[in-house]
Amino acid sequence: MDETLSISEAIYDAQWYIVDAYTMKDIRFMLARSQIPVVFEALPLGSFNYPLFLAIIKTAYTYLTLIHQSI
């Protein structure tokens, strides 16, 4: 979530006011798109955000490593 906000802040802090109209249209699109939070959807589980997804992956990797070491 913080990454998408930092992208929109970086776009806003850039020198967007000195570009041509075609590039300005792209900048507006990127700015609007970066303000939408990233959400992963898993149909039986519902939707979850990036930190939860990362925690699930880390936990799964920990269990996989534990099982691998016990073999």
Q: Global pTM?
A: 0.52
Domain ranges of the chain: 1-37, 41-71
pLDDT digits (tens, 9 = 90+) for 40-69: 777 777 777 778 888 989 999 999 999 999
* Per-residue CA distances from 6 to 33, 49, 54, 66 (Å): 13, 17, 19, 36
Asked if residue 49 lies in contact with residue 37, where contact means CB atoms within 8 angstroms, the answer is yes
Strand partners, 31: none
Residues 31, 9: Cα–Cα separation, whole Å? 9
Residues 27, 53: Cα–Cα separation, whole Å? 29
pLDDT band at 25 (very low <50, low <70, confident <90, very high): very high
